[in-house]
Amino acid sequence: MSTDSSKQTEVQKLYNTYPFPPDPLSDELPPGYNWRWSWNAAYNFCVGEKPTRQNIRILDAGCGTGVSTEYLIYLNPLAEVVAIDISSNALSIAQKRCSRSGVLKNHQPSVSFKELPLEKADQIEGKFDLINSVGVLHHLPDPIIGIKSLAQKLAPGGLLHIFVYAQLGRWEIQLVQEAIALMQGKRKGDYQDGVAVGRQIFSSLPENNRLVKREKERWSLENHWDQSFADMYVHPQEVDYNITTLFELIDASGLEFLGFSNPQYWQLERLIGKSSQLMELAEKLSQRERYRLIELLDPSLTHYEFFLGHSSLSRVNWLDDEYLKSAIPEVHPCLHGWPSYGCLDYEYRPVDLLEGEYNFMQSCNGKTPVAELLKGITLEEVRSLQERQLIILASH
């Protein structure tokens, strides 16, 4: 039987052979943004206001080849960033990526890379305001040990951002993984051989085979890279979650669940909204049961992405007029194509701004309170800009 440390050695071997993600290095700054890696945008999403501090500490736990680390540095110019991983090859690419793109040039606080398993995060001094762990916990021999270790390093008022695999949308991946392992027999653990066997399976199967169709539909764009193919089909250690096991993991962290980062998927109305009878029945369910119902009715989800925080972190609401008037508004940091009436929002969705909304946003300077900017716009419309995350508000 393999022990936890031998499993970790296997995972390390996979990522030293196939560092992930395979995105090529570039001489340019990262294109666009991912709001989950912007402290202001993520905090605003979870808490409903701008955080009080910008000189924060960020931990990228399982940074791989540094795509996320580069964005974390870029989108949070005043943050100290520590990136850890168990693959020395991935870490060395991550370092090269960040130096080459120029993202470090205007970044005064320190950025460091360390070969360290996240289970040993206690070896790093101090706590972190934002911890990012994307695509990592499900590859640990014991994800509960991992999440507890990260939770211990979360500063009061901080956010832990996690991405783990979901069972239901990955059914075909599990089948292919098992098929490759069967064909490899004793060669299992030779990852290059696993990729070769897997590619042969896909090219031999009939074109109308369900696995082939699914691979073409969902994954072939990324899987032309051997690194992605290996990460998907020949992984030595993978746990896929469902809502029940996901919340067991979350509860073990001792932190509060602050929400999924894709709330649209978790709207039951989009699935059974046509039937008021079914909606009424669903109202009797707990929140977690409702989540389970949603994933059962729409089993397309391939991963869960969510935020956790300490229970002291409470959500701000802007219903009180006087409170709203005293807030300092600024344009959301992750808009694409701003300033323009037809920019894209933080999720790259098109926005159509009314003239009053546009003028208000143009006048937001991060210093003047809402009360002094109410020309051609009502408080209700300011609230709507905040709810749609086109502006963020500071209450301090």
Ligand X SMILES: C[S@@+](CC[C@H](N)C(=O)[O-])C[C@H]1O[C@@H](n2cnc3c(N)ncnc32)[C@H](O)[C@@H]1O
Residue (119 or 357) nearer to ligand X, CB:
119
Residue (84 or 293) nearer to ligand X, CB:
84
Phi/psi at 85 (nearest 5 deg)?
-165, 165
Phi/psi at 394 (nearest 5 deg)?
-110, 135
139 binds ligand X (CB under 6 A): yes
136 binds ligand X (CB under 6 A): yes
Identify which of 220, 51, 37 has the alpha carbon closest to the alpha carbon of residue 132: 37
68 binds ligand X (CB under 6 A): yes
Strand pairing partners for 130? 58, 159
- Closest approach of Cβ 23 to ligand X, in Å? 8
Q: Are 94 and 73 in contact (CB under 8 A)?
A: no
98 binds ligand X (CB under 6 A): no
Give the range of 33-41, 85-93, 285-293, 314-322 binding ligand X by CB under 6 A: 85-93
Per 3-state DSSP, the chain is made up of helix, strand and coil in percentages (nearest 5) of: 45, 15, 40
Q: How far is it, in rounded angstroms, from Cα 285 to Cα 281?
A: 8
Identify which of 80, 82, 84 has the alpha carbon closest to the alpha carbon of residue 54: 80
83 binds ligand X (CB under 6 A): no
Residue (8 or 386) nearer to ligand X, CB:
8
Q: How far is it, in rounded angstroms, from Cα 184 to Cα 302?
A: 26
Q: How far is it, in rounded angstroms, from Cα 340 to Cα 352?
A: 9
Q: Are 135 and 163 in contact (CB under 8 A)?
A: yes
243 binds ligand X (CB under 6 A): no
CA 251 from chain center: how many Å? 19
Report which residue's Cβ sits closest to ligand X: 64
Among 90, 176, 351, 390, which residue sits at the site for ligand X (rule: CB under 6 A)?
Answer: 90
62 binds ligand X (CB under 6 A): yes
User: Rule CB under 6 A: which of 19-58 touch ligand X?
Assistant: 20-21
74 binds ligand X (CB under 6 A): no
Q: How many CA atoms lie within 13 A of 336 on its CB side?
A: 12
Q: Are 287 and 246 in contact (CB under 8 A)?
A: no
- Closest approach of Cβ 94 to ligand X, in Å? 9
- Closest approach of Cβ 65 to ligand X, in Å? 7
Provide the token pair at 294. Answer: 């949603």
64 binds ligand X (CB under 6 A): yes
**Helical H segments across 55-87, by residue range:** 67-75
Binding mask 173-212 for ligand X (x = CB under 6 A): ----------------------------------------
Give the range of 86-94, 322-330, 344-352, 354-362 binding ligand X by CB under 6 A: 86-94
Among 30, 48, 135, 158, which residue sits at the site for ligand X (rule: CB under 6 A)?
Answer: 135
Among 80, 129, 215, 231, which residue sits at the site for ligand X (rule: CB under 6 A)?
Answer: 231
Q: Are 300 and 355 in contact (CB under 8 A)?
A: no
Among 42, 140, 159, 293, which residue sits at the site for ligand X (rule: CB under 6 A)?
Answer: 140
Q: Are 46 and 309 in contact (CB under 8 A)?
A: yes
- Closest approach of Cβ 137 to ligand X, in Å? 8
Q: How far is it, in rounded angstroms, from Cα 108 to Cα 129?
A: 18
- Closest approach of Cβ 208 to ligand X, in Å? 31
For binding to ligand X (CB under 6 A), which residues are involved?
Answer: 8, 11, 15, 20-21, 62-64, 67-68, 84-87, 90, 117-119, 134-136, 139-140, 231
